[in-house]
A = this chain, B = another copy of it.
Amino acid sequence: MESRIERIKKHLHSSSYKLTPQREATVRVLLEHEEDHLSAEDVYLLVKEKSPEIGLATVYRTLELLTELKIVDKINFGDGVSRYDLRQEGAAHFHHHLVCIECGAVDEIQEDLLEDVEAIVEKRWNFQIKDHRLTFHGICYRCQDKEE
């Protein structure tokens, strides 16, 4: 955890940004909720618990900065808010998501799975892929069990 913060600090410095107390508090919240898909407001409320003086605009600015540095990925599941997801350290691409249309749960797929598809797209559409967003909408294992 601490070493992860250290590396993020260096990452910021290498782009001449500072790891201010507010930024650190925000990053800690993200690290403590790796599995979640928090909105800016969600992050704000969590950061506020330990650093009550922080402002919402600062959280927005920090999330924007972390997105720019590819420390987090910004994603939109169609519910009107952007959500922020810590990127696995060293991951070349964003991971995938399973959104359940019954219960709203969001599960993650860390495996790449797209290597072949990307090879085809790069070749056939002559498109140089830098990143991707892949989300499946359907019924999660939990909701399937509930079905009659």
Select the stretch in A13-21, A28-36, A40-48, A125-133 that faces chain B. A125-133
Q: Which of these binds chain B: A51-59, A84-92, A112-120?
A: A112-120
Instruction: Give the residues in chain B near A117, CB-CB below 8 Å.
Output: 113-114, 117
Interface size on A, residues (CB 8 A): 33
Is A69 part of the contact surface with B, judged by Cβ < 8 Å? no
**Cα A80 to Cα B138 with chains together (Å):** 25
Give the CA-CA distance A138 to B136 in the complex, in Å: 21
Q: Please state if B139 and A127 are interface contacts (CB–CB under 8 Å).
A: yes
Residue numbers of A with Cβ under 8 A of B are 74, 76, 78, 82, 98, 101, 107, 109, 113-114, 116-118, 120-121, 125-141, 144
Besides A130-B138, A131-B136, A132-B136, 20 other CB < 8 A contacts?
Answer: A74-B78, A76-B78, A98-B127, A101-B130, A107-B125, A107-B127, A109-B125, A114-B117, A116-B116, A117-B117, A118-B136, A125-B141, A127-B138, A127-B141, A128-B138, A129-B136, A131-B138, A132-B134, A134-B134, A134-B135
